[in-house]
Structure 1
């Protein structure tokens, strides 16, 4: 399965989406460190999330997500750029006991915050901060969009140590072309039915067909993703 991200939208509505799948790039990240399985899974979710956010904000520069926790994980960071390069790292707190294989997001990070940094090639760097007030990474990132972007956004993230994937839906403010007032609620309701094995194991078009075969969905060409250092050596 290719490492790629694909944009789609629902015709005659103000709802758009992105779907991402990762395998090779995910393995490149994990092969560089011996993280516990629960950390590997969360790193995969974060990689999928940073790819989705980068493509959504259309930034000509880098976007990074840092999870600064007070639990087993002191830091979890992923970064992406418009060229489709991704990287991610984790730092386990000193003297922390290794987490169980099925440790939850809350058990891994504890209290803390997520810092999202947009660093354009031209212009000023922007940072948004949101608390770790939800039980999943996706829930925390949804809160960021509600707080900073003021756009209703939903995220479905999955990873299993082999593959990572994600789905993002967003309701745009411009409703001039929206001829379907129930489109947002319906698209979210259908996405809530997706299973992890579908998001990780099926081709993207198959996922979209299973979810939205009764909708009019316009799917755009996929964009390739790969592992790569997204910053200068000085910033490392």
Structure 2
């Protein structure tokens, strides 16, 4: 099966893992945009990574990964939630030349940073930032886990424009269950032998068997993933209000209405003068007094 994520752990150790495969969700992201092939591949890696991280941190909310660079590729962004919804976009720099097929990660992005945002349904938003100082997206995210989570974590990511996949291994701090002192080093060493072709072409259980047939592995039920956009008329309206009433009324005077679209799914939203004035009136209302 494609478009699923599967959790596994090594019995009697403190090592756990996740493996993800994407096809339809990946295709739906690419079908909505016209990116160069090399950008399509990086988006596939990012989609795999955001799915892996969402399942790893067990967040009840939204997790996003935003890669901002100063090269030809200005932005990569992907978002995921516990419901298995994924979405992603990319943006090329306005004055950039068309990226070459063989451009590498750092060559495409140049200097920059990755911003990882955890936005729980209840609670405070958390952001972690890591520099683009590694040669791959996986390497940068491993640095994030080292700095922010302080948990040894390794990632393997791959995408070819049609399928995307990823593997994550993590050593948990609880040593009480660890009866195998070499488990972490051994599991990472074996995972290092996986090829992108195997990660994309084999079923998930085949990949795990290929790597860990001599290990005692416990595999959990997979979770289905799919493309899903969280845009809505209310969210777009809230975004419009950030422009300020003067600018909104100026656009209305020039165009008669305000039209915009979601960058992720291209759904169009239109607001006429009456709707905009109602939004502005609501935004001016004082908060209710609690007794």
| TM-score, reference length from structure 1 | 0.98
Q: Deviations over 1:46-76 (max 9, x none)?
A: 0000000000000000000000100011110
Instruction: State the match for 2:113 in structure 1.
Output: 113
- Work out whether residues 79 and 230 of structure 1, in 8 Å CA contact, stay in contact via their aligned partners in 2: no
- Work out whether residues 81 and 230 of structure 1, in 8 Å CA contact, stay in contact via their aligned partners in 2: no
Higher helix share: 2
1:140 partner SS: helix
CA–CA distance in 2 between the matches of 1:164 and 1:230?
Answer: 22
Asked if 1:59 corresponds to 2:59, the answer is yes
1:145 partner SS: helix
Asked if 1:156 corresponds to 2:163, the answer is no
Asked if 1:96 corresponds to 2:96, the answer is yes
- Work out whether residues 78 and 88 of structure 1, in 8 Å CA contact, stay in contact via their aligned partners in 2: yes
Q: Spell out the pairing of 1:180-219 with structure 2 (5 A cutoff).
A: 180-219=180-219
| Structure 1 stretches lacking a partner, 5+ long | none
Instruction: State the match for 2:36 in structure 1.
Output: 36
Residue 230 of structure 1: how far off its partner (Å): 3.5
Instruction: State the match for 2:18 in structure 1.
Output: 18
Asked if 1:9 corresponds to 2:6, the answer is no
CA–CA distance in 2 between the matches of 1:2 and 1:29?
Answer: 15
- Alpha carbon RMSD of aligned pairs, Å? 0.9
Instruction: State the match for 1:87 in structure 2.
Output: 87
CA–CA distance in 2 between the matches of 1:91 and 1:100?
Answer: 15
1:83 partner SS: coil
Structure 1 residue runs of 4+, over 3 Å off? 230-236
Asked if 1:228 corresponds to 2:228, the answer is yes
Asked if 1:177 corresponds to 2:177, the answer is yes
Q: Deviations over 1:122-145 (max 9, x none)?
A: 011000000001000000000000
1:55 partner SS: helix
| Structure 2 stretches lacking a partner, 5+ long | 240-261, 263-291
Asked if 1:77 corresponds to 2:84, the answer is no
Q: Which has the higher contact order (CA 8 A, sep 6+)?
A: 1
| TM-score, reference length from structure 2 | 0.80
1:127 partner SS: strand
- Work out whether residues 80 and 230 of structure 1, in 8 Å CA contact, stay in contact via their aligned partners in 2: no
